A and B are shown apart, each in its own frame.
Chain A
Amino acid sequence: MKRLAVFSFAVVLSVAAAWYRPGDSAHAMGMVSVKGGKAHHPVHLPSGKDRYTLVVTGTILPPYRGDTRVAVEGGPALSYDVYGSDPVIDLGLRRRPRFEDHTLIGLQPRDRFTLWVVMRPAEVDPVCGMGKQDDFIGFAHHGRTVWLCSQSCLDQFSRDPDRFHAGPRPAGRYAVTFHDTATDKPVLEIPVIFGGGEGHHHEG
């Protein structure tokens, strides 16, 4: 009886874990090619998160060779970083493309790459709408840090924080784009669609 109870409990727990989608991350896949490439599927992410993590895996289709610049395009503006997955200590046992300065270097046919794209909504002063700068004043509100440009904006915000919205949220269609650095032609574009619904969660 105890075994049956534990089995049932574990099934319920596992189904809930498999079903739940937090929406702050997703997996995007695509193939880089001279004809513009092909995304396996668009990525859907909900609006309203403070941070999104996209793991992007790709394969290089022949005959493409070259270096490829990676960017996130779309508006309103997102702040984003792209990280590679190069070995910490590269033993040089096998050739592999490197990732430096948002650029995949030395791509060859049948290479594979993995990138991590971390995106955040642009941070603005919710009172005056100015984009965050280094001298902004931080104000803790509902577990988040709200950035304000001056004491005047801080005073207004602190008197009635609920009057002000946090700033523009990503909404609509964005894309993770890959451009060949030599020709500036697109070799892959993966659509990332923000808003409503839940994130597409194909993991692989």
Chain B
Amino acid sequence: MKADHDTPRATSFWARYRTVILLASIILFLPPLAAVVQLTADVNFCGRWCPRMFFVWREGTSATAFLTGFVRSYMGVALVVGILATTFALGRHWCSHLCPVAAPLELGSTIVPSSLKLDFSNTPAPSFRYAYLSVFMIAPAIGIGSLCCNYCNFAAVPRLFGAAFNQGDLAYLLRFQGVVNLGLLLFLGIFAKGGRAYCNMLCPIGALDALSNRIGVRFGRRMHIDHSSCTNCGECARVCPTWAIETKGSPTINQLSCIPCRLCQESCPTEAIYYGRPASEPGHLTGFRNEDGELPLSAGFSIPKGAAAFAAVRQAPCGTKAPLDGVHRRAAAGGE
């Protein structure tokens, strides 16, 4: 049977090497090396690589000038289109594993003592995020000001790294808006629980990416909860850096906030969280994995819970590695 989701946590590449990938992204995209942006004779995410400004319409801008902005930032356009397309199919791996702007915030937060961290998990992040995105788009269009580039994570983070080497980058930070940007990165990043509050509330690319993630949830691969295995212990919600898991009642993952960082999957004591296609419906036994980590019942096909358990027990004495082997193992262990 074709694997329909990741292998279990012990062999999950994306879980095991996430920190390494984030560090590699920092090295490849940010000063002092910034190798990737140097491919286009650039030094940072401004200009050709700017992913935030080309889709913002400013008051008085002609259609030609607006389209010229797409050409000027052609690498930024390619980056955003690539991010949204891959997210639609595979989830927000740019945000969780590749984003060099988010990586220093999350990794930095891991070295800050928990007692110093701020917990924003009571804030409904999508509400804040789309309010910010609305103003981000509308304020320049009606001429009342601009959040872009004044408050820009893609400008501030590279310059934070470059400031140690380059006085131009230092000049960016030593002004009112540079200090504000730095404060936001510290307040909502490094000193935030999980290090992802900036990403979750103020990143316009993240906001668009979350929409792609939510719209494509029925078609692509995402993090899901196998409700048959879930004991509602709440451990996943405690480790989630984007506070995307709601555990009141039946646990759910909010695909408007989830990034597939796998921290929930790693922490789940019953391995009830998996990455794959949306296979399960409440009350049905889809989403169980066999020894190879495969979903025995593919998307769009589910059987009643009782029938599946009956099938598993029937097959167990034969010692076969039937697709529903996992069901039997859970039953033998005292689970469902």
Contacts and interface: CB of A to CB of B under 8 A. Distances in A.
Interface of A: 2-4, 6-11, 14-15, 17-22, 24-25, 27, 51, 53, 55, 57, 81, 83-91, 93-96, 112, 114-116, 118, 201, 203-204
B128 A87 contact: no
A191 B39 CA distance: 33
B270 interface: no
17 contacts: A3-B127, A4-B127, A6-B128, A6-B131, A9-B128, A14-B135, A15-B135, A18-B139, A18-B150, A21-B145, A22-B175, A55-B172, A81-B167, A87-B43, A91-B35, A93-B35, A96-B41
Contacts of A9: 128, 131
Nearest to A5: B127
Interface in B37-64: 38-41, 43-44, 46-47, 53
B211 interface: no
A168 B55 CA distance: 43
A101 B102 CA distance: 35
Given A25-B176, A83-B166, A94-B38, A19 B43 contact: no
Contacts of B34: 87-89
A53 B147 CA distance: 18
A104 to B, nearest CB: 13
Given A2-B124, A14-B132, A15-B139, 20 more contacts: A3-B126, A14-B131, A14-B134, A14-B135, A14-B139, A15-B145, A17-B145, A18-B140, A18-B146, A19-B145, A21-B145, A22-B177, A25-B178, A27-B149, A55-B172, A85-B44, A85-B169, A94-B39, A116-B171, A118-B174
B148 interface: yes
Contacts of A114: 46-47, 168
Interface of B: 31-35, 38-41, 43-44, 46-47, 53, 123-124, 126-128, 130-132, 134-136, 139-140, 144-151, 162, 165-169, 171-172, 174-178, 201
Contacts of B33: 88-89, 91
Contacts of A14: 131-132, 134-136, 139, 147
B32 A88 contact: yes
B177 to A, nearest CB: 6
B171 A17 contact: no
Given A57-B47, A88-B31, A204-B53, A83 B171 contact: yes
Contact of A6 (B31, B123, B177): B123
Specify the main secondary structure of chain A where it touches its partner. mixed
B131 A11 contact: yes
Contacts of B127: 3-4, 6-7, 10
Contacts of B171: 53, 83, 116, 118
Contacts of B174: 51, 53, 118
A25 B177 contact: yes
A116 B168 contact: yes
A94 B41 contact: yes
A19 B139 CA distance: 8
A91 B130 contact: no
Contacts of A2: 124
A19 B146 CA distance: 7
Contacts of B150: 17-18, 201, 203
A51 B139 contact: no
B146 A203 contact: yes
A97 to B, nearest CB: 9
Contacts of B146: 18, 201, 203
Contacts of B47: 57, 112, 114
Contacts of A27: 149
A115 B145 contact: no
Contacts of B145: 15, 17-21, 201
Nearest to A53: B175
A119 B146 CA distance: 24
* Closest 7 A/B residue pairs (Cβ): A10-B131, A18-B145, A14-B135, A88-B32, A94-B41, A22-B176, A83-B168
Nearest to A82: B168
Contacts of B41: 93-96
A86 B43 contact: yes
A153 B132 CA distance: 52
Contacts of B43: 85-87
